[in-house]
């Protein structure tokens, strides 16, 4: 399994280098500043500062999506390893139902328990992590909305009384 993961990691690295996407890494200080902006502070920011925050967060989204893809690959691999091992173990068990044989196999094998735990942990990590880019996108959209409102206000003629 370790050899397979090494090959997968090498393939991911090659693919990222080919697309240059691995070069996208937002500056940590800029990221901290963009994420620290409170909703009531947005209106006091300069347009250029909002644009900078949007760019930094957009870079961060791309970075997170790459990380999410790697986590998905790990999850798929852990699931496959667990399912293959459990299928082999269940075939050697006696019992009336597949569920009974599966439970017996899990109880008897520390290795199967470890594979199941690894599978469940990578699944949880992937599911949780996969939602993070959407959350960051909401912050980007809030900045976009603020810039849009400013543009609309600048374009509207003054009301005459």
Label residues 39-57 b or e (16+ Cβ within 10 Å = b). Answer: eeebeebeeeebebbbebb
- pLDDT level of residue 39 (50, 70, 90 thresholds): confident
Is residue 80 in a domain? Answer: yes
| pLDDT surpasses 70 at 1 | no
| pLDDT surpasses 90 at 156 | no
Of the candidates 9, 14, 21, the residue with the CA atom closest to the CA atom of residue 73: 9
Is residue 39 in a domain? Answer: no
**Tens-digit pLDDT profile for residues 14-26:** 877 777 777 777 8
Is residue 63 in a domain? Answer: no
How confident is the model at residue 119, as a pLDDT?
96
Helical pair 98-108 and 47-91, crossing angle rounded to 10 deg? 100
**Neighbouring C-alpha atoms within 13 Å toward the C-beta of 94:** 0
| pLDDT surpasses 70 at 82 | yes
| pLDDT surpasses 90 at 99 | no
Instruction: Choose between 27 and 53: higher pLDDT.
Output: 53
Is residue 85 in a domain? Answer: yes
**Tens-digit pLDDT profile for residues 61-81:** 998 998 898 899 889 999 999
Is residue 90 in a domain? Answer: yes
Q: Token pair of 62, please? A: 């791309």
Q: Token pair of 116, please? A: 């199941």
The pTM assigned to this predicted structure is: 0.75
Is residue 73 in a domain? Answer: yes
Of the candidates 45, 35, 65, the residue with the CA atom closest to the CA atom of residue 145: 45
Is residue 87 in a domain? Answer: yes
Is residue 37 in a domain? Answer: no
| pLDDT surpasses 70 at 161 | no
How far apart CA 31 and CA 41 sit, in angstroms, is 16
Percent of the chain with pLDDT over 90: 51
What's the domain range around 81? 68-142
Instruction: Quote the Cα angle for 132-138-140, to 5°.
Output: 105
Number of structural domains (the chain) is 1
What mean pLDDT comes out for the span 12-38? 84
């Amino acid at each position: 399994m370790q050899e397979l993961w090494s090959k997968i990691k090498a393939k991911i690295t090659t693919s990222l280098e080919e697309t240059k996407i691995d070069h996208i890494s937002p500056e940590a200080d800029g990221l901290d500043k963009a994420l620290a902006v409170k909703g009531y502070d947005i209106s006091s920011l300069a347009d250029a500062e909002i644009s900078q925050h949007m760019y930094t967060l957009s870079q961060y989204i791309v970075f997170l999506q790459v990380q999410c893809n790697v986590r998905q690959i790990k999850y798929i691999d852990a699931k496959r390893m667990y399912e293959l091992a459990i299928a082999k173990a269940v075939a050697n068990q006696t019992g009336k139902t597949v569920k009974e044989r599966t439970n017996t196999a899990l109880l008897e094998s520390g290795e199967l328990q470890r594979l199941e735990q690894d599978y469940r942990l990578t699944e949880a990590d992937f599911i949780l992590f996969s939602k993070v880019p959407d959350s960051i996108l909401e912050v980007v959209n809030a900045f976009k909305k603020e810039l849009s409102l400013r543009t609309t206000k600048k374009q509207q003629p003054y009301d005459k009384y």
